[in-house]
Amino acid sequence: MDQRDEEEFAEYFAARRDAVRRTAYMLCGDWHRADDLAQTAFVALHRRWKKIRDPAATDAYVRKTLVRASIDESRRPWRREWQTETLPEPADDTPGLDELVATREDLLAALKEVPPKQRAVLVMRFFEGLDVTGAAKALGCSEGNVKSQTARGLANLRQVLEREVETNG
């Protein structure tokens, strides 16, 4: 890459770094993994920087790379949670749901329990603000797939949040 390309990439990186990192966090729920995912997306973008013909498509490329990296990472065996026979006893001093205020952390914790593809669709649709067509392009799938994954993802998210209410309320 020549000097001009490097400067353009550096400008893009500086402008979009925080937004990409936030999106990555919403996809995975862990700031350390979010940093890794954002880095993966920017490295992939850097490799293809000279081949980008439409600068308006750069954000879409980064989003698609981010989602794919998140889904690939979730498939890795060392990321899987292990089932146990007994659950730990809840602490006696935990406040009831009526004492808790619904926070962003509650939503992000519930989002972690939604399957990766559904989570990706929910993040693209409701946190990135993309419509069905935009989310389909970003994720490389059909609009029908986005619609069905959105419906399933919202149902799973509701179920997780309702379970949280029943457990803590």
Tell me how far apart the alpha carbons of residues 144 and 151 are, in angstroms, rounded to a whole number: 11
Same domain as 116, residue 58: no
Same domain as 164, residue 112: yes
Q: Which domain holds residue 48?
A: 1-75
> Which pLDDT value is given to residue 53?
77
pLDDT in tens, 116-152: 999 999 999 988 889 999 999 999 999 999 999 999 9
Give rounded-to-5 percent helix, strand, coil for the chain.
Answer: 75, 0, 25
pLDDT in tens, 54-95: 877 899 999 999 999 988 877 766 655 566 677 666 555 555
CATH number at residue 99: 1.10.10.10
> Which pLDDT value is given to residue 163?
78
Q: What are the angstrom distances between the C-alpha of 79 and each of 30, 69, 72, 74, 76?
A: 12, 13, 11, 6, 6
pTM: 0.56
Same domain as 55, residue 25: yes
Same domain as 113, residue 61: no
Tell me how far apart the alpha carbons of residues 104 and 26 are, in angstroms, rounded to a whole number: 10
